[in-house]
Amino acid sequence: MSLPPYSGDEPQPPRPASEGNELGQIHPVQVMVRLPQVSPIVTYLILGITIFVFLLQLISQNLLGADYPLALGAKVNTLIRQGEVWRFFTPALLHASILHIGFNMYGLWIFGRNLERSYGHLRFLLLYGLGAFAGNVLSFLLSNKPSVGASTALFALVAAEGVFIYQNRQIFGRERSTAMLSNVVMLVAINLFLGLRPGIDNWGHLGGLIGGAVFAWLAGPQFFVAGEYPQLHLADRREPVQVWTVAALEALALAAIAAAGIL
């Protein structure tokens, strides 16, 4: 997507002398740059798999009289303590109703495509998976109620969106980044407030939010303008080794916290 004229702290090429003043002073120049154009295939893949699983839920309910996918994959604390640790991840693929999956998949469509274009495929998948894991771990620790839904991972995406805007505010420009951050904060506040209603796992939302924010802050893309004028492009300061290290450490920390809760 196009970004507004860049006016950050990275070195900028001088204007030609004819564009300066009569003393030949150097002025910064504003340029148009674009975020990396990556097809959001992981977002589409997650959408497809999640919808497919929901269809299996409907088929199971209508033909077998029970929702076996939900029974096998929902976050149920007693079953997790019995060793079914996959339930820290599988709830993100399960939903309780058409309205439930509709809202969550709409959120994935909105936030996932843009984030994946900036994060790249693997880093986006790590963000989504860690967000789901973090949300279900916190829910496991603080709520005894069974739960399902991709909202744990979606709150991670929203948190990552806010962190991405903040850490790249020089690229977006002060006014635009402030407006976008305000929208993200408002969205989070509204959804956490709505999550106070009975039957909604707000601990899962909060866990996803924290997990996504931590990963995004330490491993999310941090762009700067590189190249020589007029062939300028955005480059990422984060090295792949840093991304994988952060992901591994966060996953290990979450696993340790979960294990402590199980024991």
Q: Among 6, 35, 29, which residue's Cα sits nearest to residue 222?
A: 35
Q: How far is residue 75's CA from residue 10's CA, in Å, rounded to a whole number?
A: 47
Q: Are 232 and 33 in contact, with CB atoms under 8 Å apart? A: yes
Annotation says 151 is catalytic: yes
| Residues pairing with 234 in the sheet | 225
Q: Read off the tokens for 123.
A: 């880093």
Given the residues 118, 139, 147, 151, the one annotated as active site: 151
Identify any residues that bridge with 147 across adjacent strands, giving them in sequence order.
75
Answer whether the bond into residue 230 is a cis peptide, omega within 30°. yes
Where residue 171 falls (left for φ over 0; alpha for ψ -120 to 50; beta otherwise) is alpha
As annotated, the active-site residues are 151, 205
